[in-house]
Amino acid sequence: MNYKTFSKILILSISFSLLLSDTMIAVLDFESNGINPEEASTITDRLRLEITQLCHDSGECSVMDRDQMEQILEEQILQQSGCVSNTCMVEIGEIIGVETIIGGSIGKVGNLYSINAHGVSVQTGEILNFASYDHEGEFRQLLTAGTRYIAYKLIESVTTVGGNTSETGTLWINAPGCDILLNDIYKGKDYILIELVPGYSTVKAQKENHYTVEKKVLITEGEEENITFELLPIQGNISIFVNPLEAANSEIYIGNRFEGLAPKNFSLLIGQYDIEVKHDEFLSQKKSIMVNQNQMQNIYFDLKTYRGSIQQHINKWEKRKKLSLIGTVAFIGAGLYFQQSGNDYFNKYKAAENEHDAIAYRNSTEQADVTYTICIGVGATLGVSWLYSWVQERKYRKRND
């Protein structure tokens, strides 16, 4: 099959799809001004996805796949890049067989990003709708909130999704990373464009470890209201100090991320943090810290040199050895005492003159035997502990020599 035949079949298949959908839409690659082409391409792809989702939800339109469009244009030896004029857009729309074609540009001046887009009727060449979105800050919000807003605004002319009527108003809610509640009913996350009847509505934004913010907004018939939420974090403060003095300027890692040199103060979201302090001439030390709301904590790290750490181990095992030895002697001694007591009770049991005394001496003998067994068992265990502590102490003393 040659390319011309394939192109005709492809156009016929697209024409057939128009019979099944009210409007076929194509999204051209947006022109980049002040940003690199890769970022502009990413924005275009995301916008195409947002429009596709809205069309799918409404059932009133469909979006041509980018690869389909490229195949047809390559056959006609045409390119979509740089096509921003209405005449050019209409020409491409006629070739690929769509009813509405969307194009525009993405620019950046300083820290301000801007998306400008418009939809054109392929049949009449008229601009059906246009939309702009400006954002000062991270590219991520332009990619998410910006494309969603543009998508809603552009398809007003071809569907009933996103367009306000004479009986409603439009509310655009911008709350990155937050759960959005409208009149205490969960509506979504991050960004929402919604149609509401005129009147007051309460919008709430919630985010973990942040203060909840609530706003009351008046919806006006036929108008659009925009509200943005910037939630303040719920924080606590910690100050990290390091001893000895020679360990000053130790590196501080919070959650395995380098955060500066000690001593240093931090304002952190409330929660649990793993903090590690490192220094080339000392052994590193870790602590798990709970940061509480509006609370200031001083966290001290006592770093040890390698030799200092060895001495610390020697002291530890020496102490355990002494305690184990004392425990061994005490329990073995107690065991011998109860053994002798058991023998005495047994002799009294044999010499008992009546049944009552015999039963009492027998019970005392059994209790003494049980206690003897327990004491000897505990003493033996502590004896093993003493031996292990002695071995460990000797091991670290050799390292320290």
The residue segments making up the domain with residue 228 are 164-232
* 119 in the same domain as 14: yes
Answer for the pair 70, 92: CB distance below 8 angstroms, yes or no: no
Quote the pLDDT of residue 158.
58
Quote the pLDDT of residue 221.
85
Q: Decide which of 179, 202, 232 is a domain's last residue.
A: 232
Quote the pLDDT of residue 192.
85
DSSP 162: S
DSSP string, 235-276: EEEEEEEEESGGGTT-EEEETTEEEEESSEEEEEESEEEEEE
Q: Which of 101, 97, 78, 99 is nearest to 89 (CA)?
A: 101
* 246 in the same domain as 294: yes
* 159 in the same domain as 136: yes
Domain total of the chain: 4
* 296 in the same domain as 180: no
**What is the mean pLDDT of each successive set of 10 residues along the chain, which is 401 residues long?**
38 38 83 88 91 85 87 74 79 89 90 90 89 84 85 71 63 90 90 86 93 93 88 94 90 94 94 92 90 93 78 85 93 93 90 87 91 94 93 82 66
What is the phi/psi pair of residue 317, to 5°?
-70, -30
* 194 in the same domain as 122: no
CATH number at residue 294: 2.60.40.1120
What predicted TM-score, i.e. pTM, was given to this entire model? 0.52
* 117 in the same domain as 8: yes
What is the phi/psi pair of residue 322, to 5°?
-65, -45
* 158 in the same domain as 54: yes
Quote the pLDDT of residue 57.
80
* 287 in the same domain as 257: yes
Q: Which of 228, 129, 212 is nearest to 174 (CA)?
A: 228
Quote the pLDDT of residue 19.
36
* 179 in the same domain as 119: no
* 374 in the same domain as 322: yes
Q: Decide which of 110, 130, 163 is a domain's last residue.
A: 163
Quote the pLDDT of residue 11.
39
Quote the pLDDT of residue 82.
64
Quote the pLDDT of residue 373.
94
Where b means 16+ CB within 10 Å and e means fewer, 176-214 reads: bebbbbbeeeeeeebbbbbbbeeeebebbbbbeebeebe
